Amino acid sequence: MNLLGKILTFLILLTSVAFCMVAIVVVASHQSWKETAEANRKTAEDFRKRFQNAEEQIAALRGQNEKASVARAQAIAYLNSQLAIERERYSAQILQVQNLRSQLDTSIANLQNAESRLKDQDQQIQTLGQQNRGLAADLASQSQRVAVILSQVEAAEVKKEQLASQLQQMMVEYNDLKKVADVVGIDKNTLWAQIPPDLTGRVTGISANQQDVFAVSLGLDDGLREGHTVDVVRNGRHIGTATVVSSQANNATAKFVTGMRNAMPQVGDEVTTVLAKRLNTSLPVNN
């Protein structure tokens, strides 16, 4: 039940009370004061029970809403974890593609050099045959070298086909990953921008007007930027998760994520990005 439903329920209850009071006034002229008092007492008791039931229902709904908020936050944390894993796989595959492309270029250059050497050696063989038929031994030796080069050329062709097949497979995987990134609406810049460095600081102040807003001893010089996520910890217990809303050179301002504050912050509480990067679910702490 949302806030509008709760308001309508309360208005219906007030309207029922008003109608009952009007009915009591109308009937009062036909009943004795004792009967009227007894009826009023029973009516008030009934309304008290109904109001108590309504309060219990509202409390139960509030608890359900808080559980739903925690579940959504956990789901978002899991998706961010999966996104980080896919980013690492994407970077590794891009590096493999670049290495394979470099190897392919090297193989092509070697093949071209081998073909050029083969042509030069054919010309040398023809020249030697015309100049002196007595150099048949040298010609045989050159023929063997040509055979070795041809074998190398064939091996290079096979390697070229293998590399081309691998490159095609990597391009298919690259295109699949790019489609996923396009659907999610991210690129490598936005991914790195959302990953804070490993930092640990302290809460230096609490906002007087907004208790969900607090000051942090970390800032731009430490690598903490607007949009980064931090966790507040006290004596090894998780106080809540907050988002940096502004960052200066030596300090920053953070605000607790809705539904992710388990206790009121205090000056001196530890502020860290390590929990946020590992995306661990922390146990709530009592006030």
Q: Can you tell me the distance from the alpha carbon of 1 to that of 3, in angstroms, rounded to the nearest whole number? A: 7
Q: Is residue 282 a contact partner of residue 236, using CB atoms and an 8 Å limit?
A: no
Would you give the distance in Å from CA 176 to the centre of its chain? Answer: 19
Q: Residue 213 forms beta bridges with which residues? A: 255
Domain extents for the chain? 1-195, 196-278
Report pLDDT for 193. Answer: 59
Average pLDDT across the chain, whole number: 82
For the stretch 283-286, contacts whose Cβ atoms lie closer than 8 Å and that sit 24 or more positions apart, written own/partner, are: 283/237, 283/238, 284/238, 285/234, 285/237, 285/238, 285/239
Instruction: Please state, in angstroms and as integers, the Cα–Cα distance from residue 43 to each residue in 33, 68, 95, 247, following that order.
Output: 15, 37, 78, 59
Summarised one tens digit per residue, pLDDT across range 59-112 is: 888 888 788 888 888 888 888 888 889 888 888 888 888 888 888 888 888 888
Summarised one tens digit per residue, pLDDT across range 199-249 is: 999 999 999 888 899 999 999 999 999 999 999 999 989 999 999 999 999
Q: Taking the C-alpha atoms of 3, 4, 5 and 6 in order, what is their torsion angle to the nearest 10 degrees?
A: 50
Q: What is the CATH number of domain 196-278?
A: 2.40.10.340
CB atoms within 10 A of CB 90: 19
Q: Residue 247 forms beta bridges with which residues? A: 252
Summarised one tens digit per residue, pLDDT across range 118-157 is: 888 888 878 877 787 777 777 788 888 888 888 888 888 8
Q: Can you tell me the distance from the alpha carbon of 104 to that of 95, in angstroms, rounded to the nearest whole number? A: 14
